């Protein structure tokens, strides 16, 4: 049985990207400022991480205007949602200790000879 | 990654998802407001079937619906399955509203036994959407 660590997604694994994915997983979409405040990062840091997630096909971007104000909405793609669910499942397995082979008992092991 | 790190990441994710989910409660307020305006509009139009009542109630209701639309557009996020819930709610509302008004104005003008239940049936889809949203946003998840 392989360790669940092998199922962790490298793109999602970084803490800020994991937080972004967690925030977007709880919504259909969220605007940039709300996401920035929720994840507690700067505009530039959020933009950078979003580019990575968008490049991986995990996040979709929608730009619109509300009145005269431009707004950017972000949401997970179906692929991103699946990837996040898989990643969380792997984390749960690690937290539960799945895939960890218990050490063999040594004290009572019969000795050869 | 060690077990402790995984637990820490899961707890952090849960904290964020709960905060975001709670923010989605605005849609419950929107839907409840929509339902309340509907009840008032249907009752006024149905129980006082005069051109004056319609001329006053309809614009007032439209202003209410417009205010709710502005409130909706100003929200920073939409909750999970928002589009499906909203479309289902609006489709149910439109069907009930049309049926209540068309049948009621034709056959039962001013009949309390028709218009009071009719108003509640019209408001049922948005009220159900409000309750669904409250339940979804209160749900603790890992």
Residue B19 lies in a domain: no
Q: Say how far apart CA B50 and CA B101 lie, in whole Å.
A: 14
Q: What's the rounded Cα separation, in Å, for the pair B13 and B9?
A: 6
Asked if B20's CB is within 8 angstroms of A94's CB, the reply is no
Does A107 reside within a domain? no
Give a yes or no: residue B76 inside a domain: yes
Q: What is the count of residue pairs from A and B with beta carbons less than 8 Å apart? A: 79
pLDDT at A8 > cutoff 80: yes
Q: What is the mean pLDDT of residues B4-32?
A: 94
A63 in a structural domain: yes
DSSP B18-57: HHHHHHTTHHHHHHHHHHHHHHHHHHHHHHS-SHHHHHHH
**pLDDT over 70, % of chain A:** 85
DSSP helix/strand/coil, B77: strand
Number of domains in chain A: 1
Tell me whether residues A34 and B23 touch, CB distance under 8 A.
yes
Compute the mean pLDDT over every residue in chain B, rounded to the nearest whole number. 93
Instruction: Judge whether residue A40 has pLDDT over 80.
Output: yes
Range of the domain at B101: 27-134
Number of Cβ within a 10 Å radius of residue A73: 20
Q: How many domains does chain B have?
A: 1
| Residue among B13, B77, B79 whose CB faces A34 most closely | B77
| A29 inside domain | yes
Nearest CA in chain B to A67: B73
Task: Give the domain range for residue A28.
Answer: 4-96
In a domain, residue A108? The reply is: no
Residue of chain B with shortest Cα separation from A28: B80
At a CB cut-off of 8 Å and minimum separation 6, what does B119 contact? B38, B39, B42, B43, B46, B100
Whether residue A40 lies inside any domain: the answer is yes
In a domain, B5, yes or no: no
* CATH number of domain containing A15: 1.10.10.10
Residue B55 belongs to some domain of the structure:
yes
In-domain check, residue B80: yes
In this prediction the ipTM stands at 0.83
């Amino acid at each position: 049985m392989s360790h669940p660590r092998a199922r962790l997604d490298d793109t999602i694994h970084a803490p800020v990207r994991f937080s972004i994915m967690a925030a977007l997983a709880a919504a259909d979409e969220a605007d940039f400022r709300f996401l920035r405040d929720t994840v507690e990062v700067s505009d530039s840091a959020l933009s950078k991480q979003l580019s990575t997630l968008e490049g991986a096909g995990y996040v979709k971007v929608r730009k619109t205007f509300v009145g005269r104000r431009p707004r950017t909405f972000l949401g997970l793609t179906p692929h991103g949602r699946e990837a996040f669910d898989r990643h969380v499942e792997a984390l749960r397995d690690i937290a539960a200790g799945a895939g960890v082979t218990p050490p063999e008992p040594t004290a009572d092991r019969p000795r050869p000879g | 990654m060690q077990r402790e790190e995984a637990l820490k990441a899961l707890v952090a994710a849960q904290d964020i998802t709960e905060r975001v989910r709670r923010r989605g409660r605005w849609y419950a307020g929107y839907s409840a407001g929509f339902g309340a305006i509907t009840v008032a509009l249907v009752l006024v139009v149905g129980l006082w079937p005069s051109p004056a009542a319609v001329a006053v109630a309809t614009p007032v209701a439209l202003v209410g619906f417009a205010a709710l639309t502005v409130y909706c557009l100003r929200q920073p996020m939409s909750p999970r399955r928002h589009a499906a819930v909203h479309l289902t709610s609006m489709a149910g509302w439109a069907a009930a509203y049309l049926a209540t008004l068309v049948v009621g104005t034709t056959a039962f003008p001013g009949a309390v036994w028709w218009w009071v239940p009719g108003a509640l049936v019209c408001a049922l889809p948005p009220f159900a959407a409000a309750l669904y949203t409250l339940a979804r946003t209160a749900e603790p998840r890992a």
